[in-house]
Structure formats: structure tokens, C-alpha cells
Copies of this chain bind each other. A is one copy, B any other.
Amino acid sequence: MQKESNEILIISIKRLLRRGATKQLKNIIQKTHTVDLSAVFRELSTDNREKLFPLIETIEKKGILLSKLEENIFLEIVKTIKLENLVEIFDQMPADDAAELLGRLDEELSDEILKKMKTKGSEDVEELMSHGEDTAGSLMMPDFIALREDVGAREVIDALQNKFLDVEMPFYIYVVDEYEKLVGVSSLRQLVVVQPEKPLKEFMARDIVSVKTYTDREEVAKVVSRYDYLAVPVVDDDNRIVGIVTVDDVIDILHDSATEDMLKMAGVGDDYIETQTILRGTKIRLPWLFASFLGGIAAFLIIGGYEESLAQYTFLAAFIPVIMGMGGNIGTQSSTIVVRGIATGMINVRDFWKIISKELAIGLILGVFYGLFIGIVASVTYRAEPVFIPLAISVGLAVVASMSVAALVGSGIPLLFEKINVDPAIATGPFVTTAVDIVSVSCYFMIATLLLGI
């Protein structure tokens, strides 16, 4: 439903742009949610984007739109905006969005914008930009509600209605002690239930989980989703609250990191977006295929070494695909289960031996099952050959060996990478495929030459 209404919107806007109907365009833009507008921008040509952007009425909406666009479209539109207008837009933006967008610009331009922004705003933004990329510190919003332990419930409500009116997410009231250290949290809902005079320290929750400014964004997302928080407080090394990361950012992180993991495992880098050009797409994907190229060449050299055996029993070649395929597929199963298990916290590296021995067992059972099957196919097809029994046994055993080793390697490699703090997703894709290819081919020809007595 959403999709269809967006399509109608895009078509109308394109038509109005062709006709140059500025007034109607302004009208439509005003009525459209910024998120839907960003979907429209994605579909427009560069020219049309340039025409449409200035028609957005408020500076605030321009800012929200910019923060919703993909990086390449954002950079393209920024080029068409005058510096003073950019400064205005960034002045209106929440500090966390501004910090993120400025980080995408080249340093010269972002410095210039920061210099011309209002002092308070630019300080907040620079503070955020000073934290490492992808940390809680770079994501957090600097406005939140923090009050002392001895403030009464009524006073808190008063403060909410006056002092904290512009706080965007007023769900949690953080409680600090006399040293400004975070000691508890209360919610809007609790405030209205307790007696007006009761001080925060008597009804606040004390089991509060916080993150540090340098905590990695994926860890932040884990905390928020684990505890069903709407926001998590960010503290410095002295446990003083300096900001909050809200659930909408966490949703973006979860989205991104699932996408990144999938792309890494498929060997497409970690930031591939479909809107990229053919040339850029080719450039990103080229190096990742190199691992499988090397694996293929290794398999080629191995098979080359068995040329005489192949000359004697040509039919050996016909089984190469099925043996490699079965190994490759169970390897992908195992590594996907482990990589995703690590990402979701279902798998703990502590259980290394337990996990890989279980995977090995599953590989072995499935290997015996499919090995039998393929062995039967081999013996039936080549029943006229004198060596059809050792052939069938070789092929079957090769499937068993290839599938169990593949399950072992597929689960072991990501676990090992996690142990040495290398991202298991990025390392696993090419490694596992290549390793499994080489192992499968080697096993097959070793077993076959042995059993066929070549």
C-alpha cells in the first residue's frame, strides 16, 4: 500500500516538474512526509532533484530530508546549495544528524560550515564529531533530562514542562548524584504514579545499563534491543552522563549491520548499494572474487597433478561438480549459522569445541547420507566398468570427507576470526569457499587414486 502511494506521488511530481508547476509542487511537498519525499528524490534525475530541493519550504524540513538521503544523492544536492543556506540548515538540525552529515563532506567544507554555525550548535556538533566513527559518542544526542536524586516528583514534572521543553525524547529522567554521576533512571509513567513530594532516589530504578562514549555502535544496538530500551545513556569514564542514543538510531544500526554482514559474507565489501554505477559496482566486487579465483587455480593445479589418473578413468571428472557443490553448500550453511549466531549473541566463542564438534557431527551424518546416494548413482551409471565398485566407494567417501571437513572449516573459521577479533563476516565468505574447494578436490583425488589403485 505504502509502495503504491509512493509511486503515484513520484509520477505526479515528475509530471509537475515537466510542466514547471512550482505552486502545485510546493503544495505537494508540504503535504508529504519527509521520508516519502526522500523516496521521491531517490527516483528523480539530478536535474530534477536540483529543481525540487529549493521548493521545500522550511529549513527544518530541508535538514530532515538531507539526513534521510543516501550518501551519493546527499553529496550531489549539497553541491547545489549556497554556503549560507547550508549553514542555516545545519544550524536547525539535531546535533547528531548534523555531525553525521558533516562527516560525509570533505573536511574543508565541513570546517567552513562549522565556523559559520552558531556557537552553541557548532560546539555540540564538534563534540560529537570528536568521537571515533561508529561509536556511541558519535551517535548520541546531547539533549536529555538529568536531575539530582533529591528532586521531588512534582518538581520533576515542572522541570519537564519548562526547562526541558525542547528535549526530543523525554521518556527517561536520568538521575545523577552530587558528583554528576549516573545513579538511576525514572520514567514519565512512574512520575505521575508516585506522591508529588517523593524524591527521585526513593522510586528510581537503580539497575541501569549505560554505554561508554567509545562503545562500538553494534554493541550499543545490542544493549538497547536486549533490554527493550527506548534510549540508552552514554557516560564518560567517570560515569557522568554525556548523551543518549535513541531507539530510532538503533534500528538504523541493526538494519545496516545485518546488511553489512550479508554483503561481507557474499564477498561484496560492506557498503555496496544497488544505486551504484556499473563501473563502481565492478570495482567493488572485483577484488572479492580474487579469493575464489585463487581457490579455482589451486584446484586446477591439484587436478592437473592427477592427469594420468584422469586419462585412465575419464569418468572421474564428471563427479568433480557434485563433490565440490555438496562441500561448498554445507560449508555455507555452517558458516552462516555461526556468523549470524555470533552477531545475535546466540553463539559464544567460549563454546568453540562444542560448536565445531557438533557441526562436524552434522557434516558427517549428512555426508554419509548424500555420499551413499551419490555412490549409488555412480555405481548404477558406470555398472559396465570393471572398477565400478571402487569408483562408487571413492565417490561416496569423497562426499563424506568433503562435507564433514566443510562443516568443520565453515564453523571453525568464523569462530577463530572472532577469537582474534577479526570481523567473522568479512573474513568468512571468501575464505570458507576457497578452503572448501581446495579440500574437496584434494580429498576426492586422493581417495580415488588410492581405491582405484592408479
Residues of A that sit less than 8 Å from B by CB: 2-3, 7, 31, 33, 35, 160-161, 165, 167-168, 170-171, 188-189, 192-193, 207, 209, 219, 222-228, 230, 247-248, 250-252, 254-255, 258-259, 261-263, 265-268, 272-275, 278, 281-282, 285-286, 288-289, 292-293, 295-297, 299-301, 303-304, 307, 310-311, 314-326, 328-330, 332-333, 335-341, 344, 346-348, 350, 355, 358, 361-362, 365-366, 369-370, 373-374, 377, 381, 433, 437, 441
Contacts and interface: CB of A to CB of B under 8 A. Distances in A.
Contact of A165 (B192, B355, B374, B437): B192
The 6 closest A-B pairs by CB, nearest first: A296-B322, A258-B258, A266-B336, A317-B317, A299-B321, A303-B318
A247 B255 contact: no
A329 B377 contact: no
B326 A328 contact: no
Given A247-B251, A289-B366, A381 B304 contact: yes
Contacts of A193: 165
Contacts of A267: 329, 332-333
Nearest to A336: B266
Nearest to A332: B266
B333 A288 contact: yes
Contacts of A250: 251
A272 B347 CA distance: 12
A437 to B, nearest CB: 6
Contact of A171 (B171, B282, B362): B171
A326 B222 contact: no
A310 B314 CA distance: 6
A225 B255 contact: yes
B292 A366 contact: no
Contact of A326 (B161, B192, B292, B329): B292
Given A289-B366, A292-B329, 10 more contacts: A165-B193, A188-B188, A230-B230, A255-B258, A267-B332, A274-B341, A274-B347, A295-B322, A300-B322, A303-B321
29 contacts: A167-B189, A170-B189, A171-B171, A225-B251, A228-B248, A250-B251, A254-B254, A255-B344, A258-B258, A259-B340, A265-B336, A266-B336, A267-B333, A285-B330, A288-B329, A289-B366, A293-B322, A293-B373, A295-B321, A297-B374, A299-B322, A300-B322, A304-B318, A307-B314, A310-B314, A310-B317, A311-B311, A317-B320, A324-B325
A262 B262 contact: yes
Contact of A314 (B285, B314, B381): B314
A154 to B, nearest CB: 12
A426 B259 CA distance: 17
A259 B311 CA distance: 47
Q: Copies per complex?
A: 2
Nearest to A43: B348
Contacts of A278: 358, 361-362, 365
A362 to B, nearest CB: 5
A73 to B, nearest CB: 12
Contacts of A322: 293, 295-297, 299-300
A330 B291 CA distance: 12
A377 B297 contact: yes
Contacts of A207: 31, 33
B296 A263 contact: no
A225 B35 CA distance: 10
Nearest to A359: B281
Given A247-B251, A268-B337, A346 B274 contact: yes
A221 B158 CA distance: 35
B315 A307 contact: yes
A424 to B, nearest CB: 13
A397 to B, nearest CB: 16
Contacts of A314: 307, 310-311, 314
Given A258-B258, A266-B333, A311-B314, A296 B321 contact: yes
Contacts of A268: 333, 336-337
